[in-house]
Every structure is written in C-alpha cells, then in structure tokens.
Amino acid sequence: MAQKPSIPKGTRDFSPVEMAKRNYIFDTIRSVYALYGFQQIETPAMETLDTLLGKYGEEGDKLLFKVLNSGDYLSKVADDELNDRNSLRLASRICEKGLRYDLTVPFARYVVMHRDQLQLPFKRYQIQPVWRADRPQKGRYREFFQCDADVVGSDSLLNEVELMQIVDTVFTRFGVRVRILINNRKILTGIAEVIGAADKIVDITVAIDKLDKIGLENVNEELKSHGLNKDAIDKLQPIISLSGTNDEKLAVIKDVLKESETGLKGVEETKFILDTLKTVGLTNEISLDLTLARGLNYYTGAIFEVKALDTPMGSITGGGRYDNLTGIFGMPGLSGVGISFGADRIFDVLNTLDLYPKDAITGTQLLFINFGEKETEYCLPVVAKARQSGIRTEIFPDSSKMKKQMSYANAKSIPYVALVGENEMKEGKITLKDMTTGTQQMLTPEELITEINKL
C-alpha cells in the first residue's frame, strides 16, 4: 500500500477559497503601496550563503535553510571532516546557497547590483515567500509570504511617516483594529550606555524583545546570563516598564538619556515621527514602546511593530530604519527604511475575525446548466457575452444529471444558475435561478447580464 503523501511541517496547501482570500490580502497591500509611489520587483528564492549569513544575528543564522550543492557534494569533503560531525562546518563545505530568510537583505543585494539603473530615492515593494527553519506553531510557519516596502537613498524621516500611514491605511481597509508600536535603536543604544553596558547592546535588545513572549523575570535571567550585573539590570527595570502617553514617555526617557548623545538623537527622531503623524491623523493608535527591539541587527534608527487588538497573534507587521545594510555589499552610506506585512498572520487574523468581503472571495458568479448539444450551442454565445461584460461565468462541460450539476453549483457557492430548455430557446430567453432564494425569472441575454451586473 502506497504511503499517504504529506507536506513538510510549517508549510500549508491553500484551497481555491483560501487563495481568493490571500489574493484579497495581496491586492489590498499592493494597491496601497502603489498609492505611495512604490514599484514592484522580485528576487530569486535562493541567494548565496555569502549574501545571507551574518545579516540576521547569530539566532537568525541558525534559522537559515541551506541548499545542498548540485552533483556529488561530498566529493571534496575529507573522511575526518565527516567523522567530526560538525554540522556547521560541514554545511559551509557542501552548501553554497540558501533560501532567503527575508526580503530586505536580498533587496539590499539587488540595490548594489543594479545601482546604475536605479533612480534614488528608490521605492520598491516585493511580495514573495521566505523560509525560516523555525519551530512551527500557531501563527509561525517555516514558509510564509512577506509583503515588503522599502525606501533607499533618503535620510528623511518623512519616509517613516509615510510607512506608518501605509500601515494604518492597509489595516483600516482590512477592518482590523491594530496598535502600531514604535521605538528607536538609538534610544536602546543610549539606554545601554547609561546603565553602563554599552558593549551589551545586542544582548540587551535581543532579550527585551522577548518580553511579551517570556515575561520580565525570564528577560532578566537572560540579561544576567549575558553578563549584565545586578546594578545594570536594576537600572533597566523602570525604563522597560515605562507607561503614560507618548509625550510623557518621551519626556522621561529624554531626561534619562541626557548624557547620551546617541540616545537623545533617537528621542528627537521619534518625536518628529509622532508629532508629524498627529498632523496627518491615523485611524489606529501609535504607541511608543521602549521594550520593542526587533531582533535583526541591521536596524539603526526607528523600528516598528504592529499587533492586532481583537485576536491573540504575534507581530503582523514590522520594520525599521537601516543606515548601513548596503555597506556590507560594498555600497556604504546608503540609508534605507522599510516595513514588512506578514501575509500569513494577517490571513489568520482575517479568518478569525471573519472580515473578508463577500465579493472578494466569490469565484464563479454564473453557471450555465448543460442539457445537451442544442442547448449548449444556444448558450455558448451568451456565455461569451457574459464574460465580456465581466461576469465570471462557467458552462458545465458534460450533459450530466441535473442534480449533479446543481450540486456542483452549491459546492462552489455559485450564486446564479442559467437554465435553457426548449421553451427558452423558442422565446430567445434564459431562465435565471437565484441559488440563495430559489427564485427564477426568464430573461433575454441582455437582461440577464444587466441583472447580474447590478448586484
């Protein structure tokens, strides 16, 4: 007996209905990006490991899916290397490529390779899958889509303001209430300086970024394990638990960071973004969160994260400013800022809250029942006219029993069925059945098209 097929953990198949929902998500995000002048690009699923490694921190590097070299990939590996069973060293010998972990690093590589063809500032968006060798769980997959927008070649904080407007517009169109969290890596650097642990900035940001997941006590234990002394950890407590309005938090942290030039620069940048957003107005709340760190090492300025308010879910959008990402590919000094919508998590949120518009997930609108050759010959020109007018139309390919054809319509949630028999052909009309109410009316082809198009 053949073994039942399966798919890798952390991946999913999507049915036609699910794909209609996903396309609604992609189309909504794509349309908002276009409003702000972003243009679409695509990059390969595989990148060289030289491109990927070292860009996501030690934890990120562990989650890279590596691709075995083609052919006899063990031919250049000595027996003693195999016997050492050092997986990291062995992987470096037999793998030259990896699946992309995100879209930002491939984008930086793209900018460097195509610099001569780009008009700066360059505003691009990219909607493609990425892969992470993470532990699968609710809302976390090994293969998932990201919907990124980035601006490179501009230091202006107006870019951050526009990205927050994009986030607000997208979730308003989805009907999802969210809280937009904002922080600045310069503020975090300043905090590390004033508590006397400037050399531990990466350890501090990685630890406090886990606050929502593991709690304050475990964060403190992790900080301790990275060598922070009790005095430094104690000084950190009131900072990461700061409350109040955005202006109140900024005032307090400005005072705390008065001896840190870098920290004060972060406060200034954050204040500009928040004050400017007040003038344009957002539908959703934006909140300064000093525990927000974003685990990726390449962020250097403002950082963002978005949480849904009406259903438990991790971050559904994130991003930030990176001033030196392209420098690692030989183009220093090119600043960028970007956001990434987590399409798979948004898919789960919209499913949970049942927020998909009916017309967004409706497939075929009209099915012509097949009663035989003469009837089909009569129907085909009408089918063509219906499609030309924009009505999603099918004709059942076989003259099967009526029950089977109607079951097909019900299974696909087709709202209207067209029936043509001898009477209809004599009168030059078609009987249109509403599958929801069961009502029927005999119409000319033109009237049928008008009737469905007005609904």
**What pLDDT shows up at residue 138?**
73
Tens digits of residue pLDDT in 270-328? 999 999 999 999 999 999 998 888 765 678 899 999 999 999 887 899 999 988 778 87
How far apart are the C-alpha atoms of 45 and 145, rounded to whole Å? 12
What amino acid is encoded at 83 in this protein?
A: N
Dihedral over alpha carbons 268, 124, 55, 74 (to 10 degrees): 180
**What pLDDT shows up at residue 86?**
65
How far apart are the C-alpha atoms of 142 and 11, rounded to whole Å? 6
**CA angle at residue 15 from 9 to 19, to 5 degrees?**
100
| Percent above pLDDT 90 for the chain | 61
How far apart are the C-alpha atoms of 435 and 196, rounded to whole Å? 71
- Residue 211 pLDDT more than 80? no
Ordered by where they begin, the domains of the chain are 16-353 (3.30.930.10), 364-453 (3.40.50.800)
**What pLDDT shows up at residue 297?**
66
**CA angle at residue 307 from 348 to 184, to 5 degrees?**
140
Q: Which of 364, 439, 375 is nearest to 408 (CA)?
A: 364
Which residue would you say has higher pLDDT here, 8 or 212? 8
- Residue 401 pLDDT more than 90? yes
Tens digits of residue pLDDT in 48-83? 998 998 877 778 888 999 988 787 777 677 776 677
What's the pTM? 0.84
Average pLDDT over residues 200-211: 74
Return phi, psi of residue 83, to 5°.
Answer: -70, -25
Average pLDDT over residues 86-108: 82
What own/partner pairs with CB < 8 Å and gap ≥ 24 does 428-433 have? 430/379, 430/382
